[in-house]
Structure 1
Amino acid sequence: MYRPESLVWLEGYQALQRWRDENGITGLYAVPYDVEVEVGATEAFPLGRWVPQQRKALRVGQLDDHRRQLLDEAGMVWEPGEEAWENKLAVLRSYRRVHAHLAPRQDAVWDDTDGRSVAIGQLMANLRRKGGLGKDPERAKTRAEQLRAIAPDWNCPWPLNWQRHYRVLADLVDADGPGILDEIRPGVMVDGDDLGTWLQRQQRDWNLLSAEQRERLARLGLKPAQQPTPTPVGKDAAKKAGKPSAAFQRGIAALAQYIAREGHHRVPRSHAEEIAMEGEGAPVVVKLGVWISNTKSRRDKLTQEQLNALRELGMEWA
């Protein structure tokens, strides 16, 4: 008996729906190639082979809009990678609901819906680096919008460590009021981070923060630390005393910018980073690879605050 093509297609569509319902599947999910489903009078409809036929029909322009819409509603995976991407989004949404941010430590892990551990810290670092959302501009744009819908600051221009500390602090202020700031002293740990030391560093290095970072902290009630009145010294001595500290701050700023862009701190020795520093008339070029090597070799001469700043950026040797 001849069966119209429309009935064959409808049978495949019903098989897809039944397979998803029986397996409790929601969202995008690729159908394995060997899946067969009992549907209607057909005992073993070859659903796993029918699905690729729909992809091919779409590519050659033979799948009408109504059928595509029905398949979209049924969670059809049109391209390899879409299912994996949706799974990543599900993990990120889960993490965001618990932590109120998408700024995990780089070594952080999180369980997906099946209980499998996902290296969410490395995932976020990969997504933030150049080309991390894929080579296709339109797809990258769509994915960026999906990530912004989960957390508007997922790709903030400052290091994720800073964003994580800020979000934790903002939640504390929201829950307990600005008065909580006076109680957060160095040594106060929150989720494994020394929030008190970080808070003190923001006040001390206020002028090194971007205008938006300062504005965010100010909205929480934070103010810059009062600088002590310097003891008068000779002009040459003052220039000499201030040089190492300024050089270190430029290095830290360059390293933070590099990590925010690349998602890691493996800096080639020959790499130079151009940064804009407040108070500088033109961008400053920091020989970042050399600076890191030199700083590491003299780490026993660094102050505790400098070591803390390096550790904040993931430099384990500090």
Structure 2
Amino acid sequence: MSASAQLGWGQAGAAAVGDEGERRWKMRFEELVAFHQAHRHCIVPKAHGVLGRWVARQRELYRQGKLALVRVDALESLGFSWSSNDTAWMHKYAQLKTLAETSGSSVMRSTDGDLGSWVAKQRQLRRRGMLSESRRAMLDEIGFVWEFAEMEWDQKLAQLRAWVKQTGHTRVPFSQGELGRWVNTQRQMYRRGKLAHERYHILSEMGFDWNPKCFNSRQRLHGTSTTSSQTDSEIRDSLAASTAEAKKSFPSIEEAAETLCEFSDSLSKMDLTTRCSLVSHREYQS
């Protein structure tokens, strides 16, 4: 039995609105039923043609209190939304669903226009516990990515691993596009103390160069580089030796630059606990 057949269209209702008007309304309603079956919602854009304009007209009549109750019930049986907020949400959802179906992914950045901003808003609402379960379920159905930042970081890490496999180092030039900018961002966050410990260790384990400028300086002075396989004990010994050597005589510019780079490079390779311990020890001695 069709949706309209279940609604109990009677002679009294038909007489009230007129046979021809009733026929046209039922025809459009059946079109909406088909649309709902295909898209799982009733947000038909006005650009959709006759059906889009008809849907907009039903909302207008409802707001004016002029839509027959039997028609209100018929539309609500399809989950028809009268709220402008619900309508706007469903419209964006429909856009994202179409994107997911055509491109195979619903992933969007917050900078990707109005739809990207809407996507970012849904993530924010979910984190605050303000997104309804029904909306969350609908987004889950189209593969919505809730932790976009985590996913993007993992993707960039995979790209860096591929770079290391090809080049043997992690010094990705800033001019290398997104990967170069991402690598630079990790260094900046590390220097500011904002890089998560877990991410710091992941990058350090693959030999991440936290001080590329020092590497370039050593290359220019000696044509060689150090490895990242030193233990914390060896690093502390190296720091002490380089500091004592620097105190023996007033260094040249090249020697001063070398000592500073060795100190900075060694310090960056230390795990965070050892580094804090070393700093506290020096402060105590002073």
TM-score under structure 2 normalisation?
0.42
Select the structure with the greater relative contact order (CA < 8 A; seq sep ≥ 6). 1
Larger radius of gyration: 2
TM-score under structure 1 normalisation?
0.39
Q: Counting strand residues as a fraction of each chain, which structure ranks higher? A: 1
Q: Counting helix residues as a fraction of each chain, which structure ranks higher? A: 2
